[in-house]
Copies of this chain bind each other. A is one copy, B any other.
Amino acid sequence: MLYNSLSRKTEEFIPLNPQHVGLYVCGPTVYGDPHLGHARPAITFDILFRYLKHKGYQVRYVRNITDVGHLENDADEGEDKITKKARLEQLEPMEVAQYYTNRYHDAMDSMNVLRPSIEPHASGHIIEQIAMTQQIIDNGYAYISNGSVYFDVEKYNKDFPYGILSGRKLDDLMANTRTLDGQSDKRGPFDFALWKKAQKEHIMRWPSPWSDGFPGWHMECSAMSAKYLGEQFDIHGGGMDLLFPHHECEIAQRCASSGHRAAKYWVHNNMITIEGQKMGKSLGNFITLEQMFSGNHPKLTQGYSPMTIRFFILQAHYRSTLDFSNEALQASEKGFTRLMNGIAALQRVKPTDKTTIDISALDKKVAEAMDNDLNTPVVISTLFEWIKTFHLLEEGKESITAEDLTSLQKSVAVIVENILGLKNQKQNESHKELLDGVIGMILTERQHAKERKDWATSDAIRDRLKELGIAVKDSREGATWEFSN
């Protein structure tokens, strides 16, 4: 069951082609560092991608990179975001796009977000965008004005319901909007650009039948989803902020070019707030992921690991708003450690000859929660209930056979690692500092043994360290260690 923004109902998920799922999600505009607002959709649709694969579907997951055409405001005015950044940093726009694409990938990798099957770039699909624009002109739903091409919303609304996704009605929208001042190339205030003629100073430009220019922002997702997922596909995802106008315009473009709305299910994650406020550069609460990880931001009392962020996001349902605060994140950090320790306890359980618990209940409860519109908070609270059982098993207060233990350990690994995409980061992090501390302790114990003239212990410590790949060097100032080969 999946909530469909188009029907405003939770619906049974039935793919267009059995066993295959086509999933398109709006990716980042790569003109700045990835921030919390990027983490939530990436993790939400990562969970959907993982769970569909877990259910045995073959999923083609397409998530784009917007590296051209996203203007400073959605009304098709202002400068291209990437061109502006390039101008400020005195770089070629593609250097800016590449740099922030890499930063985005690094941040997503660190949060264990799986990479999509195809990650197409808007600038790499100009031909396809020109072709779809031409189709819309040919079908009578767009007009050319001073070298730019605009979508004719009023004309379209006569044949198709503009506003079907957002629930807005064009008449109401029009009633609340000032009329155009006559300076614009557009005929109607809700018309949007399919192709923009480039100003002289604009670097990113391509030839087209109408002008040297660049595609409108909404066009890329329509053209790329058509290319890689076909005229109709299963799921289109993105943040709630993209529902209008971006996704509404995508539906209009697809209907105007091919007669189909393209996606069957529209899935939207809710937004993130910071201590109750909308995140925004002017509010001083704009926090990049790098700042979250390092703690290097006035709003943060400490850094939070990528897994803490992921766990925090999964503790809320994707359609609820989510408020970031240090208190909430610290609670998540503790919770995540408790979960990881519970799993470690399960690994230490000694099997006996009978099982006193119902091991099938875990998988059942998790499947119910996930099948119910990806209810990850219920999955996590279920795991916390089970952790109590894991400790009881470890302490011998409940018992389990070897076969059941293996099966339970496997279930937990599938739920935590495959479905939720959580991993014990502490075990994967560099333990250099900790290692220095612990080896220092051992060398101190060895020193004490020497002082007691307990040469057997002192030698045994040196030998065991050597086995572990650690060479001890004695000197007048004490012992030091290094990795031996």
Binding site for B on A (CB under 8 A): 60, 92, 94-95, 98-99, 102, 105, 115-121, 123-127, 131, 206-207, 228, 333-334, 337-338, 340-341, 344-345, 348, 350, 395, 426-432, 434-435, 437-439, 441-442, 445, 448, 457, 461, 464-465, 467-470, 475, 477, 480, 482-485
Contact = CB atoms under 8 A, between A and B. Distances in A.
A112 to B, nearest CB: 14
Contacts of A94: 118, 120, 228
A226 to B, nearest CB: 13
Query: Copy number in this complex?
Result: 2
Contacts of A119: 98
Contact of A430 (B120, B127, B341, B431): B431
SS class of chain A's interface: helix, strand, loop or mixed? helix
B435 A483 contact: no
A482 B98 CA distance: 41
Given A428-B430, A431-B432, 6 more contacts: A124-B124, A340-B483, A426-B483, A427-B432, A434-B468, A445-B457
Contact of A485 (B105, B118, B334, B468): B334
A428 B438 CA distance: 17
A41 B217 CA distance: 37
Contact of A95 (B118, B131, B437, B482): B118
B448 A457 contact: yes
A461 B310 CA distance: 34
Contacts of A461: 441, 445
Nearest to A101: B119
B483 A337 contact: yes
A435 B432 contact: no
A480 B348 contact: yes
Nearest to A484: B337
A459 B80 CA distance: 64
A341 B395 CA distance: 44
Contacts of A431: 430-432, 434-435
A21 to B, nearest CB: 14
B206 A127 contact: yes
A120 B123 CA distance: 10
6 contacts: A92-B118, A337-B483, A428-B430, A430-B430, A431-B432, A434-B435
Q: Which of A118, A448, A457, A475 has the most B CB atoms < 10 Å from its CB?
A: A118
A434 B92 contact: no
